[in-house]
Amino acid sequence: MIIGLTGGIGSGKSSAANFFSALNVLVLEADELAKEAISKGTNGLIQVVDYFGESILNEYGEIDRDLMRERIFSDHTMKSKLESIIHPLVGNKILEKMAESTALYTIVEVPLIFETNSMKNYDRILVIDCHQSLQLERSTRRDKNSQELIQKIIDSQCTREERLSIANDVIANNGSLEELESKIKETHYFYSELIKHD
């Protein structure tokens, strides 16, 4: 079973993922897998260079992320092309890591599931939800960024309602970290029971 764990910036995804890691669960980060998929020496990188040209590489032969962001920002075709290279590679990596693991199920932390319409990649979607004021407060403290910048990022993401509309399971993270941990344990028990009765 693959669970997509998502939530807005500062909602508590990474904290939730860490609590799952402490249980018998394989926890993966979609962003990390995407970076690995097109890192130096990979077939993914060759595909990216074939399409975008050598100029997309920096002096170390790696993808120049700022330049890539700039290129795809205003060009939808390029963005889709990049996604069409990365997504299957990430999917394969998830399957590879699952095959190597003895964990009962897999959690993939994905910041943007609704926004990328990638619900179909997961058996269930778990949303970590909290009030926007907490998102703002926690992210500002964590990233030492201005409230304005964090608010801009929140506004660029889907709304809480949109995210909740794709959820199979929701964990409200409006209390303490201890409360979050105990909700993760309850959810883990629920998933373990689901697998047992599958």
Q: Which residues form the interface with ligand ADP (CB under 6 A)?
A: 7, 9-15, 138-139, 142, 173, 175-177, 180
Question: What b/e sequence results for 33-49 when a residue is b if at least 16 CB atoms lie within 10 Å of its CB, and e otherwise?
Answer: bbeebbeeeeebbebbb
* Minimum CB distance to ligand ADP, residue 151 (Å): 14
CA distances from 154 to 20, 135, 136, 146 (A): 25, 8, 8, 13
**Shorter beta-carbon distance to ligand ADP: residue 5 or 45:** 5
* Minimum CB distance to ligand ADP, residue 13 (Å): 3
**Shorter beta-carbon distance to ligand ADP: residue 117 or 176:** 176
* Minimum CB distance to ligand ADP, residue 8 (Å): 7
**Shorter beta-carbon distance to ligand ADP: residue 67 or 170:** 170
Q: Are 49 and 57 in contact (CB under 8 A)?
A: yes
* Minimum CB distance to ligand ADP, residue 137 (Å): 8
Sorted by sequence, the CB contacts under 8 Å of residue 16 that are 6+ apart come out as 5, 7, 126, 128, 171, 173, 180, 184
**Shorter beta-carbon distance to ligand ADP: residue 45 or 125:** 125
